Amino acid sequence: MGATRTWRPGWACPAGQILLQQRRGPHDPTYRIDAAGRHWRGIGTPEGPATLCIEPRPAAAEVYAEAWGPGAAWALHGVPDLLGAADDVAGFEPRHPVVAEAWRRHPHWRLGRSGLVMEALVPTIVEQRVTGQEAFSGFRMLVQRFGEHAPGPGADLGLRVQPSAEVLRAIPSWAWLQAHIDPARSRTIVQAARVAGSIERLAGLDCAEVDRRLRSLPGVGVWSSAEVRQHACGDADAVSFGDYHVAKDVGHVLTGAEFDDAQLEEFLEPWRPHRGRVPALLGMARLSRPRHGPRMAPRTHLPARTPGHRRAR
């Protein structure tokens, strides 16, 4: 038996829905949901690897958590934040009937924060400028090959922990290519891994400062910073500008016309400091523009470098 904790949220916390914010695709090797509905995570904490199991108990208005490994105490301490306890929705006004309906249907949703910036940054970089299928596949191959087995019962579930910064720095170039992660993205990950200690300390800073420092890293731009702040810091104002779908979907759903990033930024300004809640709520309500034609196929080869290939995202 591992260390345990029972937490009673101060609201009707949809623990499973909030936890899924941290999953990177349906086959994420660091995340499992078992037949009993328990959520398992393999986590690389500042105190070492941990397996965290979270069991929502809505009938009892509580969440039961159990953890194993050197980082067990750290993982259990972070359960409330992971489930959105630090997300303050005061001042959020839906302002639009479609957003209001989505908020009515998901009034207890909150933005969780993991407190682990590198854990959020690595898969975010893998996801830069590729299809979701290719991104999830690349991250899965990276973790399965170079990540370690999660401690305790996590290993029996096939759960793994992301590779440490030391391991990332030592991965040869050909191994990145085997995972379908091109040189621009692998170089960005390795450069970030060289300053991993400084990156992890960002979790305790103001979100605006986190954004500034993340974007000072080579290869990390507006989109990547927003994605990391959403996952690691629970930044409700972070919007993934530069995403292929977000601006178009929000514009189509709320105005009938697809937006570009500049139009999206102007449109969302009245929601500040809750701008990120709008696309998140529309996503939970499964509202988006119609998709026409076949889906983009994953690349079967890595592209040649182009003049703009390394532009930060």
Domains of the chain in start order, with CATH, are 3-91 (3.30.310), 117-220 (1.10.340.30)
Specify the pTM.
Answer: 0.90
Average pLDDT estimate for 222-244: 96
> Tens of pLDDT along 62-114?
999 999 999 999 999 999 999 999 999 999 999 999 999 999 999 999 999 99
**Cβ burial 187-217 (10 Å sphere, 16+ → b, else e):** bbbbebbeebeebbebbeeebeebbebbeeb
The predicted structure's pLDDT at residue 283: 93
198, HSE (Cβ side, Cα atoms, 13 Å): 9
pLDDT band at 196 (very low <50, low <70, confident <90, very high): very high
Q: How far apart are CA 244 and CA 311, in angstroms?
A: 15
Q: In the chain, what percentage of residues exceed pLDDT 90?
A: 86
3-state secondary structure the chain: CCEEEEECCCCCCCHHHHHHHHCCCCCCCCEEECCCCCEEEEEEECCEEEEEEEEEEHHHCEEEEEEECCCHHHHHHCHHHHCCCCCCCCCCCCCCHHHHHHHHHCCCCCCCCCCCHHHHHHHHHHCCCCCHHHHHHHHHHHHHHHCEECCHHHCCCCCEECCCHHHHHHCCHHHHHHCCCCHHHHHHHHHHHHCHHHHHHHHHCCHHHHHHHHCCCCCCCHHHHHHHHHHHHCCCCCCCCCCCCHHHHHHHHHHCCCCCHHHHHHHHHHHCCCCCHHHHHHHHCCCCCCCCCCCCCCCCCCCCCCCCCCCCC
The predicted structure's pLDDT at residue 261: 96
> Does 312 have pLDDT greater than 90?
no
> Does 293 have pLDDT greater than 70?
no
Average pLDDT over all residues of the chain: 92
> Tens of pLDDT along 114-159?
999 999 999 999 999 888 888 999 999 999 999 999 999 998 899 9
> Tens of pLDDT along 168-179?
999 999 999 999
Closest-CA residue to 149 (of 15, 282, 14, 40): 40
Q: How far apart are CA 247 and CA 251, in angstroms?
A: 6
